Structure 1
Amino acid sequence: MSSSLHHLKVFTTYPHECSYLLGKEATTLFVDPKQEVDQNLYTSLSRMGFRRSGQHMYKPNCASCQACVPARIPVADFMPSRNQRRVLKRNADLRVQSLATLEAREVYPLYEKYISARHRDGDMYPPSVEQFKSFLGQAWDFTRYYCFSAGDALKAVAVVDHLNDGFSAIYTFFDPADDARSLGKFVILWQIELAKQLNLPYVYLGYWVQNCRKMDYKIQYKPIELLNQGEWVRTEPR
């Protein structure tokens, strides 16, 4: 598939307050919700910078700002830093379970704890079961939920869509009280290793936003590729 959207119906939202940059307005481009999105189309859309949230495929479409830049990790060339190797070692005891669906009653308490501790200033606060189900509970055919546990304690859940050329890291929530594990970092590193094992070339991380502190973690995984004017370019963001 080319980078053209001519065969798809897309819609644009009205301008609204940007979730990432203070004082900025944002508009969002959505693929028609009635459009059937199979794994092939999803892969092509991801290569074009689209992202999934709930049942929607979207990408920023702001007239006066291009701060949201799609980012992906080329896993074959990834080499963990010393700090990242320590993170992997600290979490070597975790057990992982792969699920096609999630039982909200089993994982929602961890989600609620995470959002309340880490994202009180965001759109998802205050959390609710309904919001959780809408955002993360509607699995597509190629969605997997990876649950990481230590003993009987659930430590992290990663929502991952499997593409033809890699993984789309949709969302991760984890125990915010267990800072020593650096669970957010670990789950990305784990996805990189799994992609390598499956001979998949990329882990798509969503959008890197320059000057947004919450997005800085995405450029700690090197090398990184950013989508620039329709081309994926390996780069070292400042």
Structure 2
Amino acid sequence: MGTDADNVRMFRTGTHPCGYWADRQARDLVLDPHDPRLPQLYPMALDWGFRRSGDIVYRPSCVGCQACVAVRVPVAGFRPDRSQRRCLKRNGDVDARIVASVRTGEHLGLYRKYLAARHPGGGMDDHGAPEFEQFLIGSWNEGRFLELREHGSHRLLAVAVTDLVDGALSAVYTFYDPDDSERGLGTLAVLKQLEWAARDGRAHLYLGYWIAGHAKMDYKRRFQPLEGFNGRGWARLQA
């Protein structure tokens, strides 16, 4: 993993309930959260299938299960398919704006509304400002918020929390107004992140973990070409 990875400490967590399958237990491999080199190690960790949640950089390390596959889109090769083009057309009245990753009351209100609708009883229902800061912003990463707003009214429709690393963007989390679900705001957020990465000349957009057949995760396969990390390197995943 190179000299930057020399003496990197990693820990394996104890078992905890899986966030994707209610009947499974999960474990994670975690980089030492107190390592002062985390900002420098983070791009390399993404390339090795890790992900950030708050200040924690982790990778699933579950006994007997390899369902979670880290995925990324090679930006230069991406072309929206017919469904994605329809999503862009349907949202022609939406403005995208990149802003600092600073929480506002508007952001927090939309986040809480999204959690109440999308993850009721999932343990995140009572998230307030401290949890927002801890989970979405963190203390050491370079992040931005990609805001999606309705043109004219400037009503906030969605926020895509995005990390900037050398040569890539990483899609950390997206929350949106559940009253506008017909817009396909989750898909639109990824499309706008891909446009952003292309403008910046970045090679990849990391999309976190894809799980085949999972209702909330399988959509990532529609962004082609898509690469998955197989434990040794990245390989093309077929649509």
The alignment's TM-score, normalised by the length of structure 2, stands at 0.91
Q: Are 2:39 and 2:140, in contact at CA under 8 Å, matched by a contact in 1?
A: no
Which of the numbers 169, 190, 193 marks the counterpart of 1:191?
193
- Once structures 1 and 2 are overlaid, which stretch shifts more, 73-82 or 96-105? 96-105
Unaligned runs of 5+ in 1: none
Alpha-carbon distance in 2 for matches of 1:191, 1:183: 12
TM alignment of 1:18-57, pairs within 5 A? 18-37=18-37, 39-57=39-57
The two structures, once aligned, show a CA RMSD in angstroms of 2.0
CA 1:140–1:85: 2 relative to 1, 3 Å: farther
Q: How far did 1:33 drift? A: 1.2
Q: How far did 1:142 drift? A: 1.6
Which residue does 2:76 correspond to in 1? 76
Letter in 2 for 1:194: W
The yes-or-no answer on 1:204 pairing with 2:214 is no
Q: How far did 1:138 drift? A: 2.7
Alpha-carbon distance in 1 for matches of 2:183, 2:139: 28
Q: How far did 1:28 drift? A: 0.9
Alpha-carbon distance in 1 for matches of 2:121, 2:74: 32
Which of the numbers 216, 220, 223 marks the counterpart of 1:221?
223
Q: How far did 1:22 drift? A: 3.0
Alpha-carbon distance in 2 for matches of 1:168, 1:141: 11
Alpha-carbon distance in 1 for matches of 2:175, 2:158: 6
TM alignment of 1:112-131, pairs within 5 A? 112-131=112-131
The secondary structure found in structure 2 opposite 1:73 is strand
Identity of aligned residues (%): 39
Which residue does 2:12 correspond to in 1? 12
Unaligned runs of 5+ in 2: none
Letter in 2 for 1:232: W
Alpha-carbon distance in 1 for matches of 2:100, 2:165: 15
The alignment's TM-score, normalised by the length of structure 1, stands at 0.92
Q: How far did 1:37 drift? A: 3.9
